[in-house]
């Protein structure tokens, strides 16, 4: 992967995460007369930018497939077993953020429901049944918005369920093409992967379409030539498509013709995948080769931002409803509306950064912890009783003396092996 692609992925990650946050924080600003009354440029810009959360998730799926699925495709000819370390990497990446995010969300939701019971937020029809503790278990099993409701107000975690199952099933479906495992294992792995995909596809959800977007991203990684050589032209095509879909595929039009939503999503996915493909073959370093390092630092906690912002947004929304009136957010925006919305975005970013230092930034340590050998390395010999002798007569030591001698003997052998 060239530097331009790497830098662009960092840029796209944090922008996509921020787009989701803007949409949810934007619930405090309802511009109901946007189509019938004149407004300033800033109002139109906000209305436009606050509508890209769904497209942002599509971008996440394509990028994830490009990075994870693409790497699997590129390394099908590997000569050593890889599934164990692969699964450790993927589970560590997801759960080191997801588990504390669920705990944090449970605390914030519980406080909000107790402090702001009459806000009209937590008792809304959209949240019916989501606060049952069992939903936390279903979310840990990656069933949210597939076979089970979401856990609390943290709706954005739905995409992690899809992504986790892509991580699990994709290498299993590729197992028949890998020569490092026995034929029986490869067939069994493929069968398990296919069964999991079928089971996850039974409910009406975004799972299958998302899998298609994810797989397309993976295929980009192994493509041999671009459709459009100019990365700048591909970028323009993607931005124009995303803008057109944002303005056109919405409201009554989509309600009358539901297939337009799927068509719009397909266009966004295809043009973003094409952009990645053009960047992979860009010459002279590519258009993003000299991007500022700040974008990588922002992307380093984009997952935390995505996973933690929703409970905070709804908590603030409920607080505002309790203090200023349940329908205050429906009023035409005032300076107070704008101040609260931007303050909420800033608070979500600040919290996510601190949260990430304790979670996302420690992903490598968690991976190393689970990847360490559970048993002595192959070839390491457990010392015999005679080797633990503490006297010239060869009489064995007992108790704490024997344990100390055993540790010394094992340490000596470890040093010999490392040397």
What's the distance, CA 293 to chain centroid?
21
**What distance in Å separates the CA atoms of residue 145 and residue 153, rounded to the nearest whole number?**
13
Q: Evaluate if residue 389 carries a pLDDT over 70.
A: no
pLDDT in tens, 328-383: 888 888 889 899 999 999 999 999 999 999 999 999 999 999 988 765 544 444 44
Residue 243, pLDDT score: 93
pLDDT in tens, 274-288: 999 999 998 777 789
pLDDT in tens, 188-225: 999 999 999 999 999 989 999 999 999 999 999 999 99
Single out the residue of 152, 11, 93 nearest to residue 359, CA to CA.
93
Residue 397, pLDDT score: 46
Given a contact cutoff of 8 angstroms between Cβ atoms, the answer to whether 406 and 388 are in contact is yes
Q: Evaluate if residue 35 carries a pLDDT over 70.
A: no
Who has greater pLDDT, 103 or 414? 103
Q: Which residue has the tokens 């993003």?
A: 288
pLDDT in tens, 300-310: 999 999 999 99
Residue 376, pLDDT score: 53
Give, to the nearest 10 degrees, the angle between helix 158-174 and helix 207-222. 50
**What is the largest distance, in Å, between two alpha-carbon atoms of the chain?**
101
pLDDT in tens, 111-131: 999 999 888 889 888 899 999
Residue 299, pLDDT score: 96
Structure tokens at 395: 């009489």
pLDDT grade, residue 90 (50/70/90)? very high
Sign of the dihedral through C-alpha 297, 308, 126, 23: negative
Q: Evaluate if residue 237 carries a pLDDT over 80.
A: yes
Q: Evaluate if residue 78 carries a pLDDT over 90.
A: no
> Residue 389 forms beta bridges with which residues?
396
φ/ψ of residue 389, rounded to 5: -65, 140
Given a contact cutoff of 8 angstroms between Cβ atoms, the answer to whether 116 and 322 are in contact is yes
Average pLDDT over residues 290-299: 92
Residue 404, pLDDT score: 52
**What distance in Å separates the CA atoms of residue 320 and residue 326, rounded to the nearest whole number?**
8
- Measured in residues, the chain has a length of 419
> Residue 396 forms beta bridges with which residues?
389
Query: Which residues have C-beta within 8 Å of that of residue 24, sequence separation ≥ 6?
Result: 53, 156, 309, 310, 313
Secondary structure of the chain in HEC code, one letter for each residue: CCHHHHHHHHHHHHHHHHHHHHHHHHHHCCCCCCCCCCCCHHHHHHHHHCCCHHHHHHHHHHHHHHHHHHHHHHCCCCCCCCHHHHHHHHHHHHHHHHHHHHHHHHHHHHHHHHHCCCCCCCCCHHHCCCCCCHHHHHHHCCCECCCECCCCCCHHHHHHHHHHHHHHHHHHHHHHHCCCCCHHHHHHHHHHHHHHHHHHHCCCCCHHHHHHHHHHHHHHHHCCCCCCCCHHHHHHHHHHHHHHHHHHCCHHHHHHCCHHHHHHHHHHHHHHHHHHHHHHCCCCCCCCCCCCCHHHHHHCCHHHHHHHHHHHHHHHHHHHHHHHCCCHHHCCCCHHHHHHHHHHHHHHHHHHHHHHHHCHHHHHHHHHHHHCCCCCCCCCCCCCHHHHECCCCCCECCHHHHHHHHHHHHHHHHHHHHC
Q: What residue spans define the domains of the chain?
A: 3-371, 385-418
Structure tokens at 10: 């960092």
Percent of the chain with pLDDT over 70: 87
Who has greater pLDDT, 252 or 216? 216
């Amino acid at each position: 992967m060239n530097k331009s692609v790497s830098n662009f992925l960092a840029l796209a990650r944090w922008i996509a995460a921020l787009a989701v946050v803007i949409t949810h924080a934007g619930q405090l600003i309802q511009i109901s007369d946007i189509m019938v009354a004149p407004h300033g440029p800033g109002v139109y810009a906000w209305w436009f930018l606050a509508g890209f959360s769904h497209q942002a998730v599509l971008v996440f799926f394509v990028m994830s497939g490009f990075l994870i699925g693409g790497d699997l495709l590129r390394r099908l000819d590997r000569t050593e077993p890889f599934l164990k370390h692969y699964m450790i990497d993927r589970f560590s990446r997801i759960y080191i953020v997801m588990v504390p995010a669920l705990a944090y969300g449970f605390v914030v939701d519980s406080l909000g429901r107790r402090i702001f019971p009459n806000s009209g937020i937590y008792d809304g029809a959209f949240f019916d049944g989501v606060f049952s503790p069992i939903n936390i278990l279903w979310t840990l099993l990656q069933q949210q918005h597939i076979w089970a409701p979401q856990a609390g107000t943290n709706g954005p975690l739905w995409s992690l369920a899809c992504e986790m199952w892509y991580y699990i099933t994709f290498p299993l479906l590729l197992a028949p093409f890998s020569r490092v495992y026995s034929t029986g294992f490869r067939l069994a792995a493929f069968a398990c992967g296919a069964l999991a995909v079928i089971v996850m596809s039974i409910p009406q959800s975004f799972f299958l379409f998302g899998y298609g977007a994810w797989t397309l991203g993976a295929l980009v990684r192994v493509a041999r030539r671009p459709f459009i050589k100019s990365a700048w032209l591909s970028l323009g095509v993607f931005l124009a498509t995303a803008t057109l879909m944002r303005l056109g595929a919405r409201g009554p039009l989509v309600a009358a013709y539901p297939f337009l939503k799927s068509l719009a999503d397909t266009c966004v996915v295809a043009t973003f995948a094409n952009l990645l493909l053009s960047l992979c073959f860009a010459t002279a370093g590519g258009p993003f080769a000299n991007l500022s390092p700040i974008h990588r630092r922002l992307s380093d906690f984009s997952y935390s931002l995505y996973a933690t912002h929703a409970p905070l947004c709804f908590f603030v929304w409920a607080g505002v409803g309790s203090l200023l009136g349940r329908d205050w957010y429906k009023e035409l925006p005032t300076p107070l509306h704008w101040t609260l919305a931007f303050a909420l975005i800033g608070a979500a970013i600040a919290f996510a950064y601190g949260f990430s230092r304790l979670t996302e930034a420690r992903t490598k340590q968690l991976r190393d912890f689970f990847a360490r050998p559970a048993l002595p390395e192959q070839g390491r010999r457990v010392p015999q009783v005679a080797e633990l002798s503490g006297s010239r007569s060869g009489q064995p030591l007992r108790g704490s003396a024997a344990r100390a001698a055993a540790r010394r003997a094992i340490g000596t052998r470890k040093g010999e092996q490392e040397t």
